[in-house]
Amino acid sequence: VSFTAARHTERLTKRVFVPRPTRVVQVGLGHIGQAVARLINQKHDLALVGGVDVDADLVGRDLGDVLGLADPLGVKVSSDLTGLIKLLEPDVAVVCTSSMLDDIAQQLRDCITAGINVVSTCEQLAHRSPMNGELWELLDMAARDANVSVLGTGVNPGFIMDSLPLYATAVSQRIDRMHLHRMLDASKRRLALQRKIGAGNTVERFHQLTKSGTLGHIGLMESTYMIADRLGWRFDEVETVLEPHIAQDVVNTPYLTVEPGQTTGVRHVIRGIRDGEACLTMELDMRVDAVESFDSIAIEGIPSLNLVFRGGIHGDVATRAITVNSIPRLATAPPGLLTMADIPIVHALDAV
Amino acid sequence: VSFTAARHTERLTKRVFVPRPTRVVQVGLGHIGQAVARLINQKHDLALVGGVDVDADLVGRDLGDVLGLADPLGVKVSSDLTGLIKLLEPDVAVVCTSSMLDDIAQQLRDCITAGINVVSTCEQLAHRSPMNGELWELLDMAARDANVSVLGTGVNPGFIMDSLPLYATAVSQRIDRMHLHRMLDASKRRLALQRKIGAGNTVERFHQLTKSGTLGHIGLMESTYMIADRLGWRFDEVETVLEPHIAQDVVNTPYLTVEPGQTTGVRHVIRGIRDGEACLTMELDMRVDAVESFDSIAIEGIPSLNLVFRGGIHGDVATRAITVNSIPRLATAPPGLLTMADIPIVHALDAV
């Protein structure tokens, strides 16, 4: 076969393919959801066709108006996900409504029933774990039966403390230990985040918050299990530490003041223990008095690897991006509940 | 549906799956091929079932003996790839015979015709580029027709200067510029590599070697095109620089001595120019007088990202690992010529 003949054949056999933008509905128009929707609207191959929220202040308003766009989008925010899907026939729903799988389960079922693929920032959807295993299996079966792909993503969980370190091990002949450390300087982050990490409390109040389950990072356990699952690590024990960072001096942020002796943030550590030794250490420090942000990945083995994101990765900015950048991957993904370790590598998308 | 009922259903409908090791034939038993074969032999889910080489000193000897294993493998090294495939019916062939696509094209055709998936360290197989485009298309069509997956991998190209930086852009909302820099301290690497990077020559001789095409890194252009292709970047111009590093003082390595004024290695830079500006810079320094090895990924955009592998990544060790770790990905990969940007993230495999 000569080159010319072969190229000619290809022209004849390849279907003419006119790409059309992927039609996306944004579910959840809170802080993250709105930012995600604005970014979808900026991307060349994506079309933002609708928005869903339960907030009575938003329902009925033009979506472009809610997002602060220059022009209206010509579609009103709806509180009825199933109705909107029927009306708009989107390709993908992006669900940014809660960190807990329980909370979004009905939204996922609505999308699955309607045959619509889903990308979600729900932290507990990042990977199966002992906390979400039963519900995960039910939703996974439903998605497979309906030939629908459902992807949990985000920067943490979803990237910096799970799928990216996993991809770093692509060059590993052998791994003895892995130590991930995310140091997040929250001093310039929004107030909601500063509150979430427990900044500005007495130590006593911090421990009350810890006990009531409102402190600590949702998703760190899911990241732990993504790594362990993929590397075939079975832990004898999984150890969790939640403790406060405490101010030495007064710490001022644009939103709050922390007195000496009060808490500046949270230290959340998960250790996967095997044969009496931590082979996986997940260390997450989020504090308003950090010297700098960084993300580090240290792998002991053959070869040993030492990877550092200098200056860290801005969680909000990055989560919006990876959520939107993941959307095109769903078109060719297998059905079921998927993680960032199940799909071809996601990368930045072209702007409009 | 209650949890119990659903779990029961799952038990009934899931097929009992008894995993069997993936059967692998190693094609090419030179320095890299032997190391890859030994690593395959150490992995739990892989079985090294045969070896192919044209070297008369190897053909007919037991493969375990050639690899220096403690025990014979009970299979002789063959020079007949097609015959060995017929005899052993492997799942995958790992091809480590040449850096040039032309050189391995017949081996790929033999595997494709026999319906055997392929992983290869051939640098020119890492991605389509202007140097390999015609042959790439022919092989791609043949592989698709035969429902065979063919993957080009390695650390460079394949990982550190293409698919890993691409995965870093998963968290990018917008990219303005990307600058990749690999600094490789070759002072302790094998003599073949020190020769390949042009160490220990007069500057005149270095430029002769450059002109004859024997210096510079095969695969850097393929990496350039993997990134550009995925990010949708069209360059007005692609600029290549090949220049020597020159010794100030005497440099001694275990294998050679470089006098002052002689060359210590090569600097290979590729710039992708758009609107008069380099939006992609690929900078590869390989020298026997480097202060340290490192790999860095700098992305300007939203957000800006600064990622560093401190101490770099050992090319030989890492290439063996990623080649072997990629093998299980072929079982569920689509047909055709694939790159590391086409398959779910590769990660380390369990040992035996």
Q: Which helix (H) or strand (E) holds A252?
A: strand A251-252
First-to-final CA distance of chain A? 41
Tokens representing A258 are 């922390």
CA-to-CA distance for B330 and B6, rounded, in angstroms? 32
Q: With contacts defined as CB-CB under 8 Å, which chain A residues touch B334?
A: 332
CA-to-CA distance for A219 and A149, rounded, in angstroms? 20
Please report, as a single letter, which amino acid is at residue B210.
Answer: T
Sequence-ordered list of residues with C-beta below 8 angstroms from that of A348, at least 6 positions apart, any chain: A321, A325, B169, B170, B172, B173, B174, B175, B231, B301
Q: With contacts defined as CB-CB under 8 Å, which chain B residues touch A320?
A: 173
B167 vs A164, A172, A308: nearest CB: A164
pLDDT confidence tier of residue B216, bands split at 50, 70 and 90: confident
Give whole-number Cα distances, A245 to A180, A199, A268, in Å: 19, 9, 10
- Give the pLDDT confidence score for residue A278 in this predicted structure: 97
Instruction: Look at residues A91, A88, A127, A120 and name the one whose alpha carbon lies nearest to residue A106.
Output: A120
Sequence-ordered list of residues with C-beta below 8 angstroms from that of A206, at least 6 positions apart, any chain: A198, A215, A244, A263, A266
Sequence-ordered list of residues with C-beta below 8 angstroms from that of B173, at least 6 positions apart, any chain: A39, A317, A320, A321, A324, A348, B301, B302, B303
A320 vs B141, B169, B173: nearest CB: B173
Give whole-number Cα distances, B244 to B267, B286, B337, in Å: 6, 10, 35
| Residue-by-residue DSSP string for A179-192 | EEEEEEE-TTS-HH
B322 vs A155, A170, A301: nearest CB: A170
- Give the pLDDT confidence score for residue B6 in this predicted structure: 38
Please compute, for residue A332, the number of CA atoms within 13 A of its CA located in the half-sphere on the CB side: 12
Confirm if B185 and B293 have CB atoms less than 8 A apart: yes
Average pLDDT of chain B, as a whole number: 93
Mutate to test the interface with B, among A184, A347, A349, A352 (most CBs of B within 10 A): A347
Sequence-ordered list of residues with C-beta below 8 angstroms from that of B208, at least 6 positions apart, any chain: none
Beta strands in chain B (DSSP E): 22-27, 46-52, 92-95, 117-120, 149-152, 174-185, 237-246, 251-252, 257-258, 263-274, 277-287, 294-302, 305-310, 336-338
**How far does the CA of residue B339 sit from the closest CA of chain A (Å)?**
10
Confirm if B206 and B198 have CB atoms less than 8 A apart: yes
Tokens representing A193 are 């985040």
Compute the average pLDDT of residues B77-85: 98
Q: With contacts defined as CB-CB under 8 Å, which chain B residues touch A332?
A: 334
CA-to-CA distance for B247 and B200, rounded, in angstroms? 9
Q: Which helix (H) or strand (E) holds A141?
A: helix A133-145
| Residue-by-residue DSSP string for B7-57 | HHHHHHHSPP----PEEEEEE--SHHHHHHHHHHHHBTTEEEEEEE---TT
Q: What sign does the dihedral A317-A153-A127-B298 (CA atoms) show?
A: negative
Q: With contacts defined as CB-CB under 8 Å, which chain A residues touch B324?
A: 173
Q: With contacts defined as CB-CB under 8 Å, which chain A residues touch B10?
A: 137, 141
The residue in chain B having the minimum alpha-carbon distance to the alpha carbon of residue A136 is: B3
Confirm if A38 and A62 have CB atoms less than 8 A apart: no
Tokens representing A220 are 């760190």
What residues form DSSP beta bridges with A93?
A: A25, A118
Q: What percent of chain B has pLDDT over 90?
A: 88
Mutate to test the interface with B, among A121, A139, A173, A175 (most CBs of B within 10 A): A173
**How far does the CA of residue B332 sit from the closest CA of chain A (Å)?**
10
B211: phi then psi, degrees, rounded to nearest 5 = -65, -35
From first to last of the 352 residues of chain A, give the pLDDT tens digit: 333 333 333 434 444 556 789 999 999 999 999 999 999 999 989 999 999 999 999 999 999 999 999 999 999 999 999 999 999 999 999 999 999 999 999 999 999 999 999 999 999 999 999 989 999 999 999 999 999 999 999 999 999 999 999 999 999 999 999 999 999 999 988 898 899 999 999 999 999 999 988 888 999 999 999 999 999 999 999 999 999 999 999 999 999 999 999 999 999 999 999 999 999 999 999 999 999 999 999 999 999 999 999 999 999 999 999 999 999 999 999 999 999 999 999 999 987 7
CA-to-CA distance for B239 and A158, rounded, in angstroms? 36
CA-to-CA distance for B86 and B64, rounded, in angstroms? 21
Across the interface, whether the CB atoms of B318 and A171 are under 8 A apart is answered yes
pLDDT at B9 over 80: no
Query: Is the backbone of residue A284 left (phi > 0), alpha (psi -120 to 50) or beta?
Result: beta
- Give the pLDDT confidence score for residue A27 in this predicted structure: 98
Confirm if A7 and A312 have CB atoms less than 8 A apart: no
Please list, residue by residue across A117-134, b when 16 or more beta carbons sit within 10 angstroms of its beta carbon and e when fewer do. bbbbbbbbbbbbbebbee
- Give the pLDDT confidence score for residue B188 in this predicted structure: 87
Q: With contacts defined as CB-CB under 8 Å, which chain B residues touch A32?
A: none
Tokens representing B211 are 């002109």
CA-to-CA distance for A282 and A100, rounded, in angstroms? 20
- Give the pLDDT confidence score for residue A17 in this predicted structure: 59
- Give the pLDDT confidence score for residue B271 in this predicted structure: 98
**How far does the CA of residue A3 sit from the closest CA of chain B (Å)?**
7
CA-to-CA distance for A12 and A6, rounded, in angstroms? 10
**Higher pLDDT among residues A3 and B73, named by residue:** B73
Across the interface, whether the CB atoms of B141 and A6 are under 8 A apart is answered yes
Across the interface, whether the CB atoms of A6 and B175 are under 8 A apart is answered no
Mutate to test the interface with A, among B171, B174, B327, B349 (most CBs of A within 10 A): B171
- Give the pLDDT confidence score for residue A135 in this predicted structure: 97
Judging by beta carbons within 10 Å of its beta carbon (0-12, 13-18, 19+), is residue A75 exposed, middle or buried?
A: middle
Helices in A67-121 by DSSP H: which ranges? 81-88, 101-114
- Give the pLDDT confidence score for residue A228 in this predicted structure: 97
- Give the pLDDT confidence score for residue B14 in this predicted structure: 42
B318 vs A1, A303, A314: nearest CB: A303
Mutate to test the interface with A, among B7, B347, B349, B350 (most CBs of A within 10 A): B347
pLDDT at B10 over 50: no
**In this structure, what DSSP letter does residue A60 have?**
T
